[in-house]
């Protein structure tokens, strides 16, 4: 028994190392997308930590108004990273790699319990397939997706304890703790009891002995939903504005579901941004014939029916696909989320596909002795090669967005982020062409105006920069960045009253923006309003104690105030 345990521990360590090693190049990746307003520029993360706010105020999750999410455990992990590493992305990515390695070991542990083999070969194959899969990269690299990472760990731990602990009350306590932690990371942890049930049915467990466990998890979920609605006034899975009808969303998600499955088995054309066309009719053609509602809706319904009716004869086939559909359902079914599709949503669902792959290889190897080894090595080597290639691309933002536009030439965010990457790299003319195209193709998108404003500010074309930033503030009411840049335009031109008035107007909405408070302080200090400037700098530093510019500006204002008072003192 101890020998089997040592082998299992060695296998778990190897799976951990593989999962981390394949994504090690991403440790040099920059921050992306929502990383800034959710994590590195979020006052709840950078300012004085208030535990009560993190657990009671959903608006603490983002520096932008209207982005209310209740994910306190994820937010606490951001606070810890900021305390340890500041805004250095290397440390943040190292934490994500650690979490990913833990998730890989949990996949192995759950598979060991499901397949019940002494050798653990099937479990090891399933964990290797999952750990090396390229579709996991986005969830590992993208800091704003850490909620998916942590929630998956909690869900997998809950399923593992459910399958492992024989004592009923210990099992209920362990599973309940995992569920509470998972819900504190992301709402999608509500699928925990469904995944537990799928495993129990596949393993032919006596459900009568587990009724109390299911009852307790169900009660916890009901209490969680009541707490969110009654205390926090947050609707689970609600969106700030309707982006598409429920029918349109279901049709669109059917084509996306087919695409997810195809990428799971054939992981090519990976992209940080899926510019997926919406489907408004069952007869609407897709951008490829096999990604159309008329084909994909019956196909997915047939698969779901197969899952429902195959538990008795083919339990592990049903478990694999059932796990995939259950885990993907919270974000890819009825609720019309702003982003119709992205790869990070597949982090937990791919565990089901890995279980399916591991069992299929085991069954095939029973007929041909060396087939299992050959198939496992081939798949893991191929997946690892694609994963390593994709991991290297993540460290170069410009290359990443170029690939996005290759896959989705009309991607609005792809154009914006490639232009921003080229502007940051000093490729002014190339960036200007992209920003101009973005503003022309998407006149209602603030990003094009904001990008051109940044570019014109760098070129010294202040009037053009001002016009673009003003338009960006009109188009995006929940983003402080165009206001920060607009105030900066006035500061560079030494238009101090306009800078002060604009900053004060913006702070009426974005009172938690340290950059706006700093800009207000600069405008006030330059007009000789040193006492008010110091207060503004204090507000910036309260929101971000590591804000070096604000600290330096405050010190200069204090010195100027002392010198002015000395000059006023009669001699």
Q: Give a three-class secondary structure readout of 188-255.
A: HHHHHHHHHHHHHHHCCCCHHHHHHHHHHHHHHHHHHHHHHHHHCCCCCCCCCCCCCCHHHHHHHHHH
Q: How confident is the model at residue 27 (pLDDT cuts 50, 70, 90)?
A: very high
| CA 480 to centroid of chain Cα atoms | 21
For residue 467, give every residue at least 6 positions away whose Cβ sits within 8 Å of its Cβ, in sequence order, or none. Answer: 453
Instruction: Tell me the mean pLDDT in the region 502-506.
Output: 96
Q: How confident is the model at residue 240 (pLDDT cuts 50, 70, 90)?
A: very low
Tell me what percent of the residues of the chain surpass a pLDDT of 90: 60
pLDDT at 515 over 70: yes
Rounded Cα–Cα distance for residues 158 and 139 (Å)? 20
Q: Is 73 exposed, middle or buried (0-12, 13-18, 19+ CB in 10 A)?
A: buried
pLDDT for 516: 95
Considering only residues 366 and 432, tell me which one the structure prediction assigns the higher pLDDT. Answer: 432
pLDDT for 504: 96
pLDDT at 66 over 80: no
Q: Which of 428, 463, 138, 130 is nearest to 270 (CA)?
A: 138
pLDDT for 285: 84
Any idea which of 90-94, 478-482, 532-536 has the lowest mean pLDDT?
478-482
pLDDT for 333: 77
pLDDT at 2 over 70: no
The phi, psi pair for 137, rounded to 5°, reads -60, -45
Instruction: Tell me the mean pLDDT in the region 521-535.
Output: 95
Rounded Cα–Cα distance for residues 415 and 427 (Å)? 15
pLDDT at 279 over 50: yes
pLDDT for 311: 84
pLDDT tens figures, 67-87: 788 999 999 999 999 999 998
Rounded Cα–Cα distance for residues 105 and 475 (Å)? 46
The phi, psi pair for 291, rounded to 5°, reads -110, 55
Average pLDDT of the chain, as a whole number: 89
The domain ranges of the chain are 2-394, 482-571
Rounded Cα–Cα distance for residues 491 and 257 (Å)? 50
pLDDT at 238 over 60: no
pLDDT for 269: 79
pLDDT tens figures, 290-327: 889 999 999 999 999 988 888 888 888 999 999 999 99
pLDDT at 154 over 80: yes
Rounded Cα–Cα distance for residues 367 and 364 (Å)? 6
> What is the total residue count of the chain?
571
Q: Which of 560, 541, 542, 559 is nearest to 551 (CA)?
A: 541
Q: Is 302 exposed, middle or buried (0-12, 13-18, 19+ CB in 10 A)?
A: exposed
Rounded Cα–Cα distance for residues 214 and 471 (Å)? 53
Rounded Cα–Cα distance for residues 254 and 263 (Å)? 14
Q: How confident is the model at residue 135 (pLDDT cuts 50, 70, 90)?
A: very high
The phi, psi pair for 31, rounded to 5°, reads -80, 150
End-to-end CA distance of the chain: 90
pLDDT for 535: 95
Instruction: Tell me the mean pLDDT in the region 208-237.
Output: 86
**Continuous H helices in 425-480:** 428-441, 446-459, 462-475
pLDDT tens figures, 444-502: 999 999 999 999 999 999 999 999 999 999 998 888 999 999 999 999 999 999 999 99
Q: Give a three-class secondary structure readout of 146-164.
A: HHHHHHHHHHHHHHHHHHH
pLDDT at 236 over 80: no
Q: How confident is the model at residue 204 (pLDDT cuts 50, 70, 90)?
A: confident
- How many C-alpha atoms does 110 have within 13 Å on its Cβ side? 34
Place of tokens 């979920």: 221
pLDDT for 169: 93
Place of tokens 């799928």: 198
Tokens representing 76 are 């606490």
For residue 396, give every residue at least 6 positions away whose Cβ sits within 8 Å of its Cβ, in sequence order, or none. Answer: none
Are 376 and 354 contacting, i.e. CB atoms less than 8 angstroms apart? no
pLDDT for 49: 62
pLDDT at 222 over 50: yes
Report helix, strand or coil for 269. coil
Rounded Cα–Cα distance for residues 114 and 203 (Å)? 6
Q: What is the pTM of this model?
A: 0.90
Instruction: Tell me the mean pLDDT in the region 187-196.
Output: 95
Q: Does domain 482-571 have CATH number 1.25.40.10?
A: yes
For residue 545, give every residue at least 6 positions away whose Cβ sits within 8 Å of its Cβ, in sequence order, or none. Answer: 46, 47, 48
Q: How confident is the model at residue 3 (pLDDT cuts 50, 70, 90)?
A: low
Tokens representing 148 are 């998916």
């Amino acid at each position: 028994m101890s020998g089997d345990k040592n082998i299992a521990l060695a296998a778990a360590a190897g799976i951990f190392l593989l999962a981390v090693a394949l994504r090690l190049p991403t440790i040099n990746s920059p921050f992306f997308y929502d990383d800034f307003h959710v994590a590195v520029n979020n006052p709840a993360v950078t300012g004085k930590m208030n535990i009560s706010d993190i657990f009671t105020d959903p608006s603490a999750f983002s520096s932008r108004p209207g982005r209310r999410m209740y994910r306190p455990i994820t937010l606490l992990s951001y606070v810890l990273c900021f305390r340890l590493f500041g805004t250095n992305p290397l440390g943040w990515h190292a934490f994500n790699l650690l979490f990913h390695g833990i998730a890989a070991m949990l996949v192995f542990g759950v598979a060991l319990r499901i397949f019940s083999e002494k050798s653990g070969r099937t479990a090891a194959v399933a964990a290797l397939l999952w750990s090396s899969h390229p579709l996991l990269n986005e969830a590992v690299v993208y800091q704003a997706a850490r909620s998916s990472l942590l929630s998956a760990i909690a869900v997998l731990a809950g399923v593992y304890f459910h399958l492992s602990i024989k004592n009923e009350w210990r099992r209920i306590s362990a599973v309940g703790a995992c569920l509470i932690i998972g819900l504190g990371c992301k709402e999608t942890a509500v699928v925990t009891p469904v995944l537990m049930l799928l495993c129990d049915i596949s393993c032919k467990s006596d459900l009568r002995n587990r009724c109390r466990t299911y009852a307790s998890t169900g009660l916890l979920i009901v209490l969680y939903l009541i707490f969110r609605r009654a205390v926090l006034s947050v609707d689970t899975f609600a969106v700030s504005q309707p982006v598409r009808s429920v029918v349109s969303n279901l049709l669109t998600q059917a084509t996306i579901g087919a695409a997810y499955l195809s990428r799971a088995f054939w992981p090519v054309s990976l992209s940080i941004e899926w510019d997926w066309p919406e489907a408004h009719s069952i007869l609407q053609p897709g951008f490829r014939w096999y990604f159309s509602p008329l084909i994909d809706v019956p196909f997915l319904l047939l698969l779901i029916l197969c899952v429902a009716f195959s538990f008795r004869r083919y339990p592990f086939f049903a478990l694999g696909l059932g796990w995939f559909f259950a885990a993907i359902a919270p974000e890819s079914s009825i609720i019309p989320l702003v982003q119709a599709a992205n790869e990070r949503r597949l982090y937990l669902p791919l565990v089901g596909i890995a279980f399916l792959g591991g069992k299929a290889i085991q069954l095939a190897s029973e007929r041909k002795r060396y087939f299992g080894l050959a198939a496992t090595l081939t798949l893991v080597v191929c997946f690892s090669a694609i994963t390593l290639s994709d991991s290297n691309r993540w460290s170069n933002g410009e290359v990443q967005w170029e690939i996005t536009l290759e896959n989705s030439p009309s991607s609005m965010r792809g154009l914006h982020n490639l232009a921003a990457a080229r502007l940051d790299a000093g490729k002014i003319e190339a960036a200007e062409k992209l920003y101009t195209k973005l503003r022309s193709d998407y006149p209602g998108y603030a990003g094009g105006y904001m990008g051109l404003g940044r570019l014109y500010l760098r070129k010294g074309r202040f009037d053009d920069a001002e016009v673009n930033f003003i338009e960006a503030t009109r188009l995006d009411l929940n983003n402080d960045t165009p206001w920060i840049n607009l105030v900066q335009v006035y500061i560079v031109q030494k238009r101090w009253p306009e800078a002060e008035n604009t900053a004060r107007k913006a702070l009426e909405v974005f009172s938690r923006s340290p950059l706006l408070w700093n800009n207000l302080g600069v405008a006030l200090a330059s007009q000789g309003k040193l006492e008010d400037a110091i207060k503004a700098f204090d507000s910036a530093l309260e929101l971000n104690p590591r804000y070096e510019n604000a600290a330096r500006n405050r010190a200069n204002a204090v010195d100027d105030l002392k010198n002015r008072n000395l000059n006023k003192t009669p001699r």
